[in-house]
Amino acid sequence: MSPWIFFVEHRAEIAEATLAHLSLVLIAMLIAVAIAVPLGMLVVHRTTLRSFVLGLASVFQTIPSLALFGFLIPIPFIGGIGRRTAIFALVLYALLPILRNTYVGLTSIDSAVLQAAEAMGMTNAQILWRVRFPLALTFILAGIRTATIITIGVATIAAAIGAGGLGTFIFRGVAMVSDAVILAGAIPAALLAIVADLLLGWLERRLAVV
Amino acid sequence: MNAKATPTYQATIQFREVTYSIDSILGKSSSRPIVSGVSMQVSQGETLILLGRSGSGKTTLLRLINKLLVPSAGTVVVAGRATSEWNPIRLRRSIGYVIQEAGLFPHFTVAQNIALVPTLENWDAARVATRVEEMLNLVGLDPRDFAARRPHQLSGGQRQRVGVARALAADPPILLMDEPFGALDPVTRAELQHEFSALARRLGKTIVFVTHDVREALLLGTRIVLLQAGQIVATAPPDQFLDIDHPEVRAFAASLVPVPGARA
């Protein structure tokens, strides 16, 4: 069967899977940003905590995704079959790029700027919110962009544990030895990644300081 | 005696036997003093120059004044109160500070940079706007042309002018300057030095100015304090400074010798 005909015949199903995929990615990214950005801010002045947190996030990053999904299934509360487990795993993957970029962004600011801020009588909170954070924003967004693209890719594998999304077509296509079915999952996933990259890249440039 | 209940504000600074050392990485036992046993007085309205080579401790002395550093021993007194008694934020907002690279906020406009301390102090918007305009005129930048610019759209000299304007915006009685003209090209530097010396005389601020350039020290100072290895080795007004018989003074005087080809 030609991929084109399969696409047309299953367009409703593909659209639904794309939406499910997108919602997995969005939920995971929201949680990851909510954890990683504050954590990145927190570790700026805490060296021990920083190496621990960054080390742990790197460990998550190195676990093969299929293995991570597998590991999580038997764990109570967060584990099991379905979206919740998948989202949890996706969050773990997304943490490192955001965390690292937040930390690097907050610490790579011109020392003369920080020195001036302190000497002019800004409090630590004012320095963080009015100087460090705005200047780190493009770095943080770059981290979010990387994490989003990773998450869109990894989310296809989440179908293996019953989380739905575009991976459903890919796994089904592999089982059926059908290129058309594989492409019905792979092409929308690739398009999602490209669109996310372009959108977030545009936002990054819009918010660039200089 | 003055009958007023509150004493007049004196923008004076005293160092009393001040030592500052950092604990070495190996342990507290082997701490190395950056400045040791420094005693000096900066009077209201004078421009005191801290002159010395790199690593002589001049910047450290400056940072002890606005409590960016706290003495390991001794006391620094600003406006009649030891810095240990001062709230650091209050102290710093009453002291202007200018550094070599200006340290302007790249995400702020020139106007926002100058408005920094007034904004932190919650001045109303109209008063801030008036003040910003005044400050830009004071440092020779046309507000219509410069207020909305970002720091990266300025030359080095213009950035430094904005740095001075920012430091003066909240009208602090004391101004600290850490090699403010050090990164500028020689021509721009000379321009700013001359303008600044006129400005300093007119404003009557108490100024502590760090430099390693003896020419700058002689030009701008009302008094020069020479530092060597964290200690004061000489103090004199500019017209007497070069006559002091001390090897470090002679070393600095030697740096003034004109190069071949220069006209006297």
The values of phi and psi at residue B2, to 5°, are -75, 130
Going by pLDDT thresholds of 50, 70 and 90, the confidence category of residue B24 is low
CA distance B36 to B32: 10
Q: With an 8 Å Cβ cutoff, is B159 touching chain A?
A: no
- pTM of the complete model: 0.81
Which tens digit of pLDDT belongs to each residue from A180-207? 999 999 999 999 999 999 999 999 998 8
Which tens digit of pLDDT belongs to each residue from A18-58? 999 999 999 999 999 999 999 998 888 888 899 998 998 88
Which tens digit of pLDDT belongs to each residue from A62-105? 888 888 888 888 887 777 788 888 899 999 999 999 999 999 99
CA distance B53 to A131: 32
CA distance A134 to A105: 10
Written in H, E and C, the secondary structure of chain A is CCHHHHHHHCHHHHHHHHHHHHHHHHHHHHHHHHHHHHHHHHHHHCHHHHHHHHHHHHHHHHCCHHHHHHHHCCCCCCCCCCHHHHHHHHHHHHHHHHHHHHHHHHHCCCHHHHHHHHHCCCCHHHHHHHHHHHHHHHHHHHHHHHHHHHHHHHHHHHHHHCCCCCHHHHHHHHHHCCHHHHHHHHHHHHHHHHHHHHHHHHHHHHHCCC
Do the Cβ atoms of A106 and A43 come closer than 8 Å? no
Going by pLDDT thresholds of 50, 70 and 90, the confidence category of residue B4 is very low
Going by pLDDT thresholds of 50, 70 and 90, the confidence category of residue B7 is very low
Classify domain B12-21+31-94+206-255 by CATH architecture: 3-Layer(aba) Sandwich (3.40)
Q: Which residues of B touch A47 (CB under 8 A)?
A: none
Q: Kindly tell me the burial class for residue A59, based on how many C-beta atoms sit within 10 Å of its own C-beta (0-12, 13-18, 19 or more).
A: exposed
Q: Which residues of A touch B152 (CB under 8 A)?
A: 210
Strand partners, B50: B210, B225
Inform me whether the pLDDT recorded for B234 exceeds 70.
yes
Inform me whether the pLDDT recorded for B2 exceeds 70.
no
pLDDT confidence of residue A210: 64
Q: With an 8 Å Cβ cutoff, is B212 touching chain A?
A: no
Q: How far is A108 from chain B (nearest CA, A)?
A: 14
pLDDT confidence of residue B3: 43
Average pLDDT on B144-149 reads 94
Q: With an 8 Å Cβ cutoff, is B92 touching chain A?
A: yes
CA A155 → CA A197, B158, B184, B207, B245, distances in Å? 16, 52, 54, 62, 78
pLDDT confidence of residue B5: 43
Beta carbons within 8 Å of A165's beta carbon, 6+ residues apart: A17, A20, A21, A24, A155, A156, A158, A159
CA distance B77 to A73: 65
Do the Cβ atoms of B38 and B232 come closer than 8 Å? yes
Q: How far is B101 from chain A (nearest CA, A)?
A: 6
pLDDT confidence of residue A79: 72
Q: Would you tell me how many other CB atoms lie within 10 Å of the CB of residue B75?
A: 16
Q: How far is B263 from chain A (nearest CA, A)?
A: 38
pLDDT confidence of residue B224: 96
Q: Are strands B206-211 and B73-78 parallel, antiparallel or unpaired?
A: unpaired
**Secondary structure letter of residue B95 according to DSSP:** E
Three-state SS at B234: strand
ipTM of the complex: 0.85
Q: What does the block give as tokens for A109? A: 């600011």
Inform me whether the pLDDT recorded for B243 exceeds 60.
yes
Which residue in A118, A120, A123 has the most chain B C-beta atoms within 10 A of its own C-beta, making it the best mutation to test that interface? A120
Return mean pLDDT, chain B: 89
pLDDT confidence of residue A85: 87
Which tens digit of pLDDT belongs to each residue from B91-108? 999 999 999 888 999 999
Task: Identify residues of A whose CB sits under 8 angstroms from chain B CBs.
Answer: 110, 112-123, 126, 131, 134-135, 209-210
Q: Which residues of A touch B90 (CB under 8 A)?
A: 121
Return mean pLDDT, chain A: 90
Q: In chain B, whose CA is at the least distance from the CA of A111?
A: B103
Q: Kindly tell me the burial class for residue A186, based on how many C-beta atoms sit within 10 Å of its own C-beta (0-12, 13-18, 19 or more).
A: middle
Domain boundaries, chain B: 12-21+31-94+206-255
In chain A, what are the domains?
Answer: 3-207 (1.10.3720.10)
Do the Cβ atoms of A29 and A94 come closer than 8 Å? yes
